[in-house]
Amino acid sequence: MQQMSRVFVTEEELTVRRTPQELVEWFEHKFQEITQQEGGKEAIRMREGLCKEFIEEVCPLSIFASFRFGGRNNVTLQPVIGNQNYDVLITDCAFSPPHVCKLEITQAHEGENDFLRRLMLQKQGWTPISGPIMKTGTKNTGIELRANIVTRDVEDYQNKQINLIIKALKGKIRKKYESDTSLLIMFWDLIEVNETDVREALYRVVEDELEPRKIPFSALYLASWSKRIFLRWPPNNDG
């Protein structure tokens, strides 16, 4: 008998228009609600169903909203689920008529190794913060995971995260986007990284390696999952 998929969050809940504060409060409440249910932590870790959008889009959006708009109540943010080339509609009612812009969200991650790290955490209760995860077996025979422990200093870890950020950025700028679309890149800083170094690396890549005029975004935002770092390029752009 086929097991019914678990539903922890619905599309209707995800796509409600909320002010920045409403969004932050709703996400925190919903996260607690899901993780307290049976199977909820697994659904979050393994991105089951719409928990994928909940963690990979709404969570970053709540961080972005808090940094970018603070306690403003004349701005609303509405996640959009689907294959369109943006993830969020932002309406700023400080303008007349209200100004509507778009936000695309992406992550600087390790691809399959990121999935294996989460799977190892789910199966074994722990996972290293760096280094490859070795996988053997299949779903039918049973998957075995083994961590290849690699000792890295803070500088190595930081450089790795910067390289993942640059890779994510370069992957996005090759695509076409509607006008007035910004990009938010999320990255991990499980080891505290230097904000100045990250900022200088981002600006150097954008201004020296890439051609700013050809970047298809009105603004670039960079935020850490820990909420320690939030950067914007151009730094004086209010978009």
Give 148-197 pLDDT, tens digit per residue.
776 667 788 888 888 999 999 999 988 999 989 999 999 988 777 788 88
Tell me the whole-structure pTM to 2 decimals.
0.87
Residues 233 and 231: their CA atoms lie apart, in Å, by: 7
Nearest CA-CA partner of 186 in 216, 218, 225: 225
Nearest CA-CA partner of 170 in 152, 154, 183, 155: 183
Helix (H/G/I), strand (E/B), else coil: 237: coil
Average pLDDT over all residues of the chain: 88
Please give the pLDDT value at position 188: 87
pLDDT band at 6 (very low <50, low <70, confident <90, very high): confident
Please give the pLDDT value at position 2: 43
Residues 64 and 49: their CA atoms lie apart, in Å, by: 23
Please give the pLDDT value at position 44: 95
Buried b (16+ CB within 10 A) or exposed e, 101-138: bbbbbbbbbbeeeeebbbbbbeeeeebeebebbebeee
- pLDDT tens-digit profile of 76-101? 999 999 999 999 999 999 999 999 99
Residues 221 and 103: their CA atoms lie apart, in Å, by: 10
Stated as kind and residue range, the H or E segment containing 105 is strand 99-108
Please give the pLDDT value at position 181: 97
Lowest mean pLDDT among 7-21, 25-39, 144-158, 210-224: 144-158
Please give the pLDDT value at position 16: 98
Read off the pLDDT of each residue in 111-129 and give the average, rounded to a whole number: 76
Contacts of 38 by beta carbon, 8 Å cutoff, 6+ apart: none
